[in-house]
Structure 1
């Protein structure tokens, strides 16, 4: 469940499960909340799974397992993938070097299986992995005024500048780490991480102190990230080939020390990926998995779709064959064929560009 479920309920929240964890769906009037985040700033509690990795070999161990370089310096982080031997994504990870430990943020359903897998493969390395999901609360701060929001309430530190870098400070009398994140909503963005026991005070400070911020839930998060062209783990990333996703920010192609990376490198060197993520505009919202056709030929599937509050129209993201045409596409909606137009991602340009915006080179 969320760390501060009672507080969310007092704000009128309704809830749902994401990755086995109870999170806020919305607080009512999600379209209005969406526009408030796009125009000013909003705060959302995220339901990450968290691992703490300690021991002398912690950096080398995790670095050898994932698709990107794990930073050596305290206060730095990276976005990476864990791939299976066929090069498909098993999980995504944010890995932060916090001095004598690494903090690894995962989708909530992946924390315990990953800890068990890694702990079972340590052999003679000095590494210890434990699940610490219940020890922390994490609040995302997103919007064109996100930096101003953080500056108005953070003490003993300044808002960090570098992507996935963080600094330690205080919000009110609670110790926090503030991470400059990767702009998945297409706006300036930060994660504020605190001890679970400080969650209520930190949330109150973020919403009500300094520059006011609107609380928002996962429904708004989904519309924001789709408008920004950001693939998400549960809908686009899990089980896909990394090269097909265009997630170049998650891959260091010079690494060759784990099986999955070799597969990805071979695909890269052979030329184009097999498929790609594209944006579609349609007249009605299709279901996830809806078939995309070019004439009579099946060329892909919708991964997710929303009614966009910013554009006032339905938008969809789809995985389609690399050589699928740009024109003449249709999508199946309620058993009927509906015209779909390709649209360059992102659909909406905000105050920042998502680091996950698919790039194919």
Structure 2
């Protein structure tokens, strides 16, 4: 078994896609926009634009024991993944707090872990320590691979560029559009994630200049990360780089929906996951906020959310949406009043905010909740 080490540091190679006309380079080295973010949102939803996510990480896990080994460490069931299947999973600490979130793709020979920016080196180091005698190899490929985000179908011209070492294109399809097997949805209303048809494709960085050439020729087009963030917020889709903190529990973000299997074998943090879900309540809850006015200041992450003069939470993500105006995700105290008209303090400017409940205060304590019969189930007569 090779003693692999991380091949990439926290610093990513600069993205050639930032040289495209109009690119506004964000803090993580990729384009936050190429022009008008509102127009770019429409293009993304129409399937006519891509997002450069080359600041994010790509980890390769290979070896015959990989799926069972990952299954024993992480929150989602992974030991039954088939070639071409996608999943989402979390690495929890012993107290159930979210440390890493992974987008998982299996190609039959390798399990690919896609992670948010600045996280691949730390996660790779931890996984290497946990191999023990298992036949697995872990390599951080972030310096060699980049990720493209898109909605709908991938343009045909890009198919030859996609990484496919086992003749299976490495394309992760986000499972957020439905509750995964073994999962649980706390939101009691129609979920906007139902219409979320988002994917991420892995491309060798050596093909980056070809992407630039295709974009320059008008064959493909790019949108910035700001446009993707606005659509993500509207779909109530959590992202650890934005919503995560040291106290994050998966229940607080309705992450049991796709990233946790409640009936699988043991993994780190499972006891807390089960206790909160069956016996208690998550101490905080994710909420969607619609901010009043089209010209309001866009609040920064961490901006206080107030009920009157009482602080009840903070903003985790905010964006200008092409249809809904200024929107945000916020993490609130569990007992924050669901009927209150909240206020966001954006650097001294107080902005009224209408709250939409994602995770209700009563989330949890499901052990004694009567289960409705499954649709189509046959009732047996005694």
| TM-score of Structure 1 vs Structure 2, range by shorter chain | 0.7 to 0.9
**Aligned mates of 1:155, 1:113 — CA distance in 2:** 31
| Structural mapping, 1:154-303, within 5 Å | 176-182=169-175, 187-202=196-211, 213-239=220-246, 240-248=248-256, 249-283=258-292, 284=296, 285-303=298-316
| Aligned 1:13-32 pairs, distance under 5 A | 13-18=23-28, 22-32=29-39
The question of whether the paired residues in 2 share the 8 Å contact of 1:279 and 1:318 is answered with yes
- Separation of aligned partners in 2, 1:201 and 1:111: 25
Matched, 1:75 2:84: yes
Does the 8 Å CA contact 2:105/2:171 hold for their aligned counterparts?
A: no
Indicate if the aligned counterparts of 2:86 and 2:173 stay in contact, CA closer than 8 A: no
Q: Residue 332 of structure 1 is aligned with which of 337, 345, 362? A: 345
> Quick check: 1:43–1:207 contact (8 Å CA) kept in 2?
no
Q: How far 1:231 sits from its partner (Å)?
A: 1.7
The 1:245/1:42 distance shift into structure 2, 3 A limit, reads same
1:132 aligns with 2:141: yes
Q: Structure 1: how far apart are the matches of 2:215 and 2:72?
A: 37
TM-score of the superposition, structure 1-length normalised?
0.79
Partner of 1:120 in structure 2?
129
Q: 1:24 to 1:328 in 2, by over 3 A?
A: closer
Q: C-alpha distance in 1, partners of 2:16/2:124?
A: 29
User: Larger % of strand: which?
Assistant: 1
Q: Is the 8 A contact 2:252 2:284 kept in 1?
A: yes
Deviates further, 112-121 or 59-68: 112-121
Query: C-alpha displacement at 1:309, in angstroms?
Result: 2.4
2:108 to 90, 99, 105: 99
Q: How many pairs are equivalent?
A: 325
Structure-2 change in CA distance of 1:263 and 1:4 (3 Å): same
The alpha-carbon distance between structure 1 residues 26 and 53, as it changes in their structure 2 partners (threshold 3 A), is: same
Q: Secondary structure at the match of 1:140?
A: strand
Q: Secondary structure at the match of 2:149?
A: strand
Gaps of 5+ in 2: 1-10, 178-192, 365-382
Paired residue for 1:321?
Answer: 333
User: Aligned in 2, Cα 1:99/1:175: closer, same or farther, shift over 3 Å?
Assistant: closer
CA distance in structure 1 between the partners assigned to 2:112 and 2:47 by the alignment: 30
Q: Distance in 2 between matches of 1:10 and 1:201?
A: 12
Over 3 Å counting, the alpha-carbon distance change for 1:7 and 1:327 in structure 2 is closer
1:124 partner SS = coil
Q: 1:6 aligns with which of 5, 16, 21?
A: 16
Q: 1:288 to 1:307 in 2, by over 3 A?
A: same
Distance 1:11 1:5, change over 3 A: farther
The Cα of 1:32 is off from its aligned counterpart by 2.3
Q: Provide the residue aligned with 2:93 in structure 1.
A: 84
Q: Partners in 2 of 1:69 and 1:30 — Cα distance?
A: 37
**TM-score of the superposed pair, with normalisation by structure 2:** 0.75
Alpha-carbon shift at residue 265 of structure 1 (Å): 1.0
Is 1:37 the equivalent of 2:41?
no
